[in-house]
Structures are given as C-alpha cells and as structure tokens.
Amino acid sequence: MGTFDREEAARLQRHLHSHLPSDPALRVKTLESLVVERGLVAPETLDAWIEAYSEHIGPKRGAHVVARAWTDPDFRVRLLEDAGEAIKEFGFEGSATGHLKAVENTADQHNVVVCTLCSCYPFALLGMSPPWYKSAEYRARTVREPRVVLAEFGVTLEDGVGVRVWDSTAELRYLVVPERPEGTEGWDAARLAAIVTRNSMIGTQRDLNPEAA
C-alpha cells in the first residue's frame, strides 16, 4: 500500500485548481448552459449580446462622444451644457444615459467618478463597469484620498492640478471628457476615438497615448 504524501497531494490540488476558471466564471457558464438547454434563449442571441457590449456598446460609444467633443466645438458646448440631450445625436439615449452630465478635464483640473450604486454607471456609453469600480473601497478611498488612489492607477498630478470627485447616483451619472493629447492635430474623429479609454472617461487615467491608435 502506498503512503500518503501530503505535500504531493497539495501540489496536485493547486495544479488542478490553476486550470479551472474562477467561481463566477463557472456559475456564469452553468447558467448559460441551463438557459440554452431549456430553450429560454438561443446561443446566437447570447453571442449577439456579448458582441454588442464588447464591440459596439462598450467604451467605444463613449469614445466617439469624446472624439466628437474634441473635433466639434459646438458639440462640445452642447455636451457640457446638457450631455443627455447632446448624445441623442448619436442615438445612444436610454435609461443608462439619462440625467447624464459631462465634466471636462483641463490643464489645472482633473475629474474622477465614483458610484453609490452599480446602476449609476452609464454602461450604454462605457460598457460594463470594472469590478474595482463597484467596490466600496474604491468609492470610500477616492472620496477620502483621491490623489493617493489616482497614483495607484498611475495618475500622478502636479500640485497645481485640482481634483474633483463626482459621486454618481441613479438620478445623475457622469462622463469625464479627457484632455485631447498633443500630437493629434489633424486627426479625424474615428482615429481620435481609438485612443480614448474607459478609464479615462471614469477619471482613473489622465494622459492618453496617441500611439494607441
């Protein structure tokens, strides 16, 4: 009879678990299999929704709004005055973009958004919210020590740059309009949209990289 090797058993267990998806992923896969098996939804419909949020709705919608604001001064004014009304020109309006306010980063002002509830997130413009955005720690720490939190995201602000934290609610959501980076003069809106990131529209990124296009 072989002897039990505790260390070898632990190693095998770690190896097996390293090849399994996370618990949330397993639950999602199980639910997906069940609804498809019971005929509640077609696999093609699920694929279409995933593609919509990853390729179309995602942060790409918000990026096009920002790029338009950079290239169209009149639209920029309308966006800052009434963002919910301005984005109707794109056909993006809906419950997730209702009561939307755009706030603009400048050379001496940086904006960052936190959220009281997950429903505050304008997912029709930014796609699904990242896990850290929904955490109580992110909201509490950003309100209390915004510069420290921003530094953890790689955003180091000079002393002369002020920080304003906007707390989204179900009645009022926010979209940060980042500064247009230098070296993008003459670019069209489509090329500009390619460098706008989700985090820059939340405010946890400040400097956009023109080479990303």
Helices (H), 117-213: 123-126, 136-144, 146-152, 189-193, 198-202
DSSP state of 47: H
H/E element, 114: strand 109-115
Token readout for 189 is 């809106």
Positions annotated as catalytic residues are: 115, 118-120
CA pair distance 129, 121, nearest whole angstrom: 7
Q: Which residue matches tokens 């070296």?
A: 183
Which residues make Cβ contacts (< 8 Å) with residue 102, sequence separation at least 6? Answer: 69, 79, 80, 83, 86, 174, 175, 176, 177
CA distances from 62 to 87, 156, 165 (A): 9, 24, 20
CA pair distance 54, 74, nearest whole angstrom: 30
